[in-house]
Amino acid sequence: CSNKFNDNKTFYMGIDWGSGTEKDYAVIVIMNADKQMVDIRYFNDKSVEETIAIIKDMYDKYKPVKVTVEQNSIGKIYGDVLSRTIGKPNVRFFNTTNDTKNKIINQLQLAIQKHEIQLLDDVELKVQFSSYEVQLTPTGKTTFNATKAAHDDIVMATAICLDSISSKSGTLDLVFI
């Protein structure tokens, strides 16, 4: 973790929408092409309009080449509003399923292990990454989640953002560990 990063001007944005209930955060992560996190915003007390305004301000500041947003649940509604605000060609929707989540979390885990990614030195980020775990279901599937009473919003936004950088097209790259 570091708050110093390269002067790379190519940016990517990843968004995990939050409902604002039970401390569920909306998280916006900005990374440069060197896979260094350069900005993060998280909150659970904003309206849809305020959330979109914050994202628009970050979009205008960094001018990301790709914006990837979670589309599950409220994400589709928020994503559609964001698409109209900043322009559809710049927004990529990410559908979180157990399979796609496993792919992007494995990708994030590998990037961390290989020291290919740099995260900001942020207390809440460290808390969420520290409380993230893998579990094996009775059917033998792997699931990734935060421990009970913890949240994974920052982890997911980071994984979504990293996938924006790693995916050269609209498809996900498979990474198995």
Residue 89 pLDDT more than 80? no
Give phi and psi for 77, each to the nearest 5. -65, -50
The answer for residues whose C-beta is within 8 angstroms of residue 103's C-beta and 6 or more apart is 163, 172, 173, 174, 175
pLDDT band at 145 (very low <50, low <70, confident <90, very high): confident
Instruction: Report residue 14 as tokens.
Output: 């990843």
The per-residue pLDDT for 168 is: 56
For the segment 92-131, what is each residue's pLDDT rounded down to a tens digit? 888 888 888 889 998 999 999 999 999 999 998 998 888 8
pLDDT tier for residue 21 given thresholds of 50, 70 and 90:
low
Tracing tokens 């990474």 back to the chain, one arrives at 175
**In the numeric block, which tokens belong to residue 161?**
């953002």
CB-based contacts of 162: which residues, under 8 Å, 6+ apart?
14, 31, 35, 104, 107, 108, 111, 117
pLDDT bin (cut points 50, 70, 90) of residue 20 is low
Element spanning 52, H or E: helix 48-62
161: helix, coil or strand?
helix
**In this structure, which amino acid lies at residue 110?**
L
- pTM summary value: 0.86
Whether 174 shows a pLDDT value over 60: the answer reads: no
pLDDT of 173 reads: 38
**Mean of pLDDT values over 26-53:** 93
Label residues 75-89 b or e (16+ Cβ within 10 Å = b). beebbeebbeebeee
